[in-house]
Amino acid sequence: MTEVQLLQTIGMSVIGVGGAILLFVKARFVRVMAFVAMVLGAFSLVALSVPQMASMPPAVEKIDVASIKEKKELAAIGQKIFFSKGQCALCHTIGSSEGRCPDLKGVGSKLTREFIYESLTQPQAYVYMDYEHEGRAKFFPAKMPHINKKPIGLNNNEILAVIAFLQSMSGEEVTINLSELATPSSASSEGRKAL
């Protein structure tokens, strides 16, 4: 029995017992408390009937630089970060106009890697109303957070991996060289200069 099934059983039992009390017990206080229990049981059942999503802390995925042999592996790591720790997909879409922020379809071919890096780390440095958007300029309600600062806090390697993913999914050649990734020993001295 799963946790949800167990809780559903408890909820239904509470409603059943409450109903029985209302039917057979005359003491008013007990009846009122049974009524309260039934309401709470019903509330729990409704809450159990909606999609059950827990919010897990982001997995601590350390990029093992030594194990990356090809650029497409870097792009695959970037894709993982895009949809998990980076939380990019909470606002951005890829190929749909329903997002809170610009659609990123083809962004890797429209923008240079330097510009993407700047957009991630200094989002207010240069703001398009909507890049290459046809028709009237579009406003977006959400502002881009500094992706290299808390609470998201991607490190330089992770940012480079995301850029590799954006280039790769746009059909572009990935311009991030594997040698640019900071190894543990060089981590402190790497950074922007990698660009």
Partner 1 sequence: MEHIRNHRSVYAYAALFLVLVFAVAMPVGLAWAEDAPAGAATEYRDIPGMGSRNLIWIVAQQHLLLAGFVLGVPIFAWVCEIVGVRTGDQRYDKLAKEFTKLLTSSYATTALFGGILLFLLIGLYPKLMNYLSDVFFPSFLVYCALFLLETATLYLYWYGWDSMQGSKKGLHLFLGFLLNVFAFFIMIVPNSWATFQASPVVIAEGSMWARAWAATWNPTWWPVNIHRLIANVVLGGYICGAYAGLKYLMAQNAEERVHYDWMGYVGNFIGVFGLLPLPFAGYWLMREIYQYNQQMGITLMGGFLSWLFILQAMLIGILFVGSNYYFWLGIMHRIPGSEARYRRPILAMLVILLVCLGVWMTPHSLVASLEEARKMGGTHHPLLGVFGVMSAKMTVSNLMILVTFMSFIMYWRAGKEETARWAKVAKAGQGVLLGIAVVVVVVLGVWGYFVPAITRINYFSTTQVLVVLFVLLTVTPLTGLLMKSARTTTEMVWGVMPGRAGYVLVLNAVMVILLMTLMGYARSSSRVHWHVYGVMQDTSQYAYSPALGYAAAIMALNTFLFCLLVAFIFWVASMGGEKKGGPTDTAHTKAKDAASPAVGSAPAASTGHQ
Binding footprint of partner 1 on the chain (CB under 8 A): 3-4, 7, 10-11, 27-29, 31-33, 35-37, 39-41, 43-44, 46-48, 50-58, 87, 90-91, 100, 138-143, 145, 149-152
In the bound state with partner 1, the residue whose beta carbon lies nearer, of 39 and 127, is 39
Q: What minimum distance in Å lies between the beta carbon of 186 and partner 1?
A: 26
Are 22 and 31 in contact, with CB atoms under 8 Å apart?
A: yes
Least distance CB 192 / partner 1 (angstroms): 22
Question: Do the beta carbons of residue 158 and residue 85 sit within 8 Å?
Answer: yes
Amino acid making up residue 191: G
Which tokens sit at 22?
Answer: 């209302």
The residue type of 46 is V
Q: What's the closest the beta carbon of residue 13 comes to partner 1, in angstroms?
A: 12
CB nearer to partner 1: give 20 or 47: 47
Contacts of 85 (CB under 8 A, 6+ apart): 58, 59, 61, 152, 154, 158
Measured CA to CA, the distance from residue 171 to residue 10 in angstroms comes to 53
Q: Which is nearer to partner 1, 52 or 183 (CB)?
A: 52
Shortest CB 167 distance to partner 1, Å = 25
Spatial distance between the Cα atoms of 32 and 40, rounded to a whole number of angstroms = 12
Query: Judged by CB, which is closer to partner 1: 43, or 131?
Result: 43
Distance, in Å, from the CA atom of 178 to the CA atom of 34, rounded to the nearest integer, reads 66
Chain length of the chain: 195
**Shortest Cβ 81–partner 1 spacing (Å):** 15
